Structure 1
């Protein structure tokens, strides 16, 4: 999060405002779009909830209607026949009575078949009176039921009218409508039994059975034609699936368990989600259910989601573009102010902003123009003051050099006069006069390299009075570099240090080497001696004093050394930025001081025109 905020703060103000305000406007848009999608989804689920309940009612209506027909057929048959008499084994029936019974029942069965065309799979009568012959279509002896699993179910019930549990159709018995397809597969049927009881003993002397297949009982084909999205299920009293309108889903829905008598709920089967409405009939024990696949229910929402996503994307793009354009318009004047501030930072204080209007930005623009005018005035004043101060500092530094080296020179000459001939002193005094004239001539703080090197030659000749042949020197400078301008008396303090510090505690011969060269557009002047050198600790102390612009203290002489510090200060003041002084030294080997002066562009090799283009700010 912190990294993201850092990246955001690096963007321009226009894009920061664009992103912030876009987020503020996009979030409500996303919330509204999501809410609308949820409303559409909830409405679809609510409609599906109603639809699945309505289809469940239609399925229950079909089941109840068909069960009612089964009961009506039973009641019609029982009402029209004297089963208590004919089925009682204690009654001896004449041939006429038996024929009449058979004829009467068959006629009634034909009427039932006519009234309830192709509705019942079987209507049979089981009789305890073996005087009545068995007829394959409808009449059987009670012994036929003894080995049937459902016989105990019938006999253990205290009711005369029994709704049996769903079972496989018994093909060993006949059927009322002679369905051929029932001969080739195990069809599940719902049986309804009517016990015929002896009037006196109340013992069961016969049973009338009506069977109806589950497909006929549900009559789901009509429902599916009306709404193919709904699947219909029927479970028996043991919650075993006994019917499904879609045979492919039979194994899938077989594991459903119902925690209540009725209700509507969501169920998950495998990876699929379903909406199911169910109802259990307390009389028959059957649980009917209507199921809808939630994926199909919400299929239409994919189009809505795509449309909403497209609208959301277009809205986001529009919001970003609109916000960006608006921000650019609003901050156009601020951008101009920012551009002008960049010019101010670059040193262009003459820039001004065109002022228009009376808003806050316009007042800032006016303030900026006033500030630029004041800065320009202050800058001119500061430049003038700095120039005057720098000139004063340079003259002060130059003033330090003159008496310092003159004192040392005269001291050397005094010592030599005590031990040498008079005529030698005369020559050296001539050299001293040249040195004085050179040091006192300060029309400019800069001179040609050739003049500075000539001054070094004069100084070394004077010092030779003391060191004689023990001192040798060498000065190298190409002719093309002799006209380059450098600060005046920049080398003399360095050569003087060779005598006062380098040769003091070392044995002759003593050597001084001065070299001038050009390295990568930089003028390099090297002053090197073979004296005692400088220790690392002392060298670090000298560098620290130069960096902090402090006087270098000489512990051996109990006084300050100003030569090196003076050279470093004048290099920084007079020469271009990047110029500097570097010291390399090794004890008992010698010291090398390198002056590096930046050469400004436009300098040619040789010629008087070079004098005006080198070594100054």
Structure 2
């Protein structure tokens, strides 16, 4: 009662009055009507429950009987023939023995066809003895099975008598009886196999296979004629629907899942509700299911209770409408205030309530308007401060990377001048000028992929003046990705690490590979080298620094810290949408791969060139 009162007080005042008054008038009528409905409904469902279980027993009985027939046919054939002798490839069969074998098996198959008329779709014998030619429709060499999907299923099973999984009937092999309907459609069959083992080595030298279609296994025609209200389903051991007596709703039933071996339950499929009984066969692993439509079960109650239901509904509607209209007339000003408060919760702080009169409601409305104005001013101020702080952090990171890369580039040029007295710096200075011009333009924190790749190429060309042909680099990027916007100057620090750390103390040739690709909604940029890689302990230290946003200290020079990777990671996370980031893969003496992942909005992927707001989310 306390919970109901709590929920009632959470509603609007109009609905509180409506519900309280309506309940006083409606509760007795609802109790009587509901009780009657429940009694009738429960009786019908109880009868349906018994009926669906009885029909499940029918399909179980049919399947067990037909599986018994298949096993009897197998046993009859095995006991009447000396397969261990004739199927053994080590035995040299005479022409008389071959003829006797074919004649004996042929007579037994005729007897089986006569006793079990129109039961099987195939009964074949596979043999490893190549002396038995395939000149009859029931004898094949074991080689015919090697390329079949179910060959492994048979051979990996340690049992001699195997119940295979349901599969499509293979028309490339012969039939026990020629069924025309099997030639034009993919009929599903249940196969049973009997291995023939060598008496001495226990090696499988032959196989007898008996197939029966699932519809025959369940005696579908007989079940359909007995009760049209019950539908029957069969699922294989992998949970796939292999038989449905109602083809029109087979797609809906195919999604059923069974957590237990057997049971009775209610299920909802689309707009329909069903009562099902199911159990799994211990021998074949097949799941048998009987289904009844609950709506059809309860149809008989509609005529009996229609009049009572209409009276009850009419009374409830009248009482609720009358009470609600009366309450709205009394509390319309409060409803107006509630609507305005809801809009403020949604972020609209410019709404105001019209103030008229001098009663209590008008004074509350005036206080509400003052509160809304104050909130609007505070929110606007906070947004501006947060935006200014974020832009300041981004500019600080951008400013940090400029002197860092410039120092390293000039140091490389100085070292080259000391090494090579004939070294000319004109070309490198031109490239350096382009690099500086690119780095100094920070009007926007983002550039096109093509511009960033061009900047990397100029940087690598400067380094090639030092390393000559010992340095090889390659860049891959499809044309449709070159117009996407990415944070500026995120690749140069990663490429620079290849020279500073990756190629240090390693023999040429040195290779750098930059790859840009799109995977679903993510732009993937990989920078990979064939350098010395990173030790496990060092890699863990780098990952700790990345997680804590701390500069990475150099183990060989305690006074020198690396800011490149941390700088790139921080700017990617600040500028790009949530989910963007940076990762490192490395194995010692096998190179390092740094991957930058940038989440791209769906409209950017479909619309070609992206702007700052598209990919940066700002």
TM-score w.r.t. length of structure 2 = 0.46
TM-score w.r.t. length of structure 1 = 0.46
